[in-house]
Homo-oligomer: A and B are copies of this chain.
Amino acid sequence: MKHISSRDNPAIKHLQALAGSARDRRKAGETLLDGTHLLEVALQHGVAPLQVVVSESGRLQPEIESLLARCTPDSLVEVPDRLFAQISPVDSPSGVLARVEIPDSPAAPVQGNCVVLDAVQDPGNLGTILRTAAAVGLRDVVLTPGCAQAWSPRVLRAAMGAHFHLDIREGVEAAATLAGYPGQILAADLVDATDLYDIDLGGPVAWLFGSEGQGLSDGVAALATRRIIIPMPGGMESLNVGVAAAVCLFEQLRQGRASGR
């Protein structure tokens, strides 16, 4: 296993750039997976890391050791703990991280159930929605240009491996992606809206969710074939966007199971 101990090593500088900068990740087409869980899920899905970095103390952990055994030996790099902490994008470094390619956005139009997020900028909310989408078995997620970067370390962390279950289209225009969409296009809204629980959610549904502060942009809202409202009898004005998405996606799952679809 290669050993690097200098923070001036170009490989280290490249990892630090990926950890800290959305622009550098985009330019390189690469990101970092921090921790055993993300690396485990990536390997399960056939991802071959470009590089796997382990800290000296991380290497002593049996769970990390068995993950390293599943990676190409040439890709492994050991670094001192102190240097690992300077690379790791998270506050409590886990001892292992992997540099991987960001998959290309699929080019084919979306046909099945999908979630379209319009300018959702909070990485925690974005990651939570990806996690929920993957949990219900949905495949396609579309992110407009104003969203947080889906493959950023913070979003990856919140999504707990969901990225590898999904086809994520980043930085695309919702109108183009949904042109000719064969199902309902539903937008969560608060006025002139139909109660979520009064709608038949059979057939493909494209769910549109906007940022909490701003809601949907006019252009994206105009794509909706129907506006829906989640009932809130308790008198709150709104829900967290990750919660709103979960309530909608799980209601669709429930209806599908109840009708044997």
Contacts and interface: CB of A to CB of B under 8 A. Distances in A.
Contacts of A134: 234-236
A195 B119 CA distance: 34
A29 interface: no
A220 interface: no
Given A131-B239, A134-B234, 5 more contacts: A132-B239, A158-B240, A162-B236, A246-B246, A247-B247
B236 A197 contact: no
Interface in A213-260: 230-240, 242-243, 246-247, 250-251, 253-254, 257-258
A131 to B, nearest CB: 6
A153 interface: no
Nearest to A257: B197
B138 A236 contact: no
A128 B129 CA distance: 14
A161 interface: yes
Contacts of A138: 234
Contacts of A230: 250
A124 interface: yes
Contacts of A250: 230, 247, 250-251
Given A197-B254, A258-B197, A128 B236 contact: no
20 contacts: A128-B240, A131-B239, A131-B240, A131-B243, A132-B243, A134-B236, A135-B232, A135-B234, A135-B239, A136-B233, A137-B235, A160-B238, A165-B235, A230-B250, A233-B253, A242-B243, A243-B243, A246-B246, A247-B250, A250-B251
Contacts of A124: 124
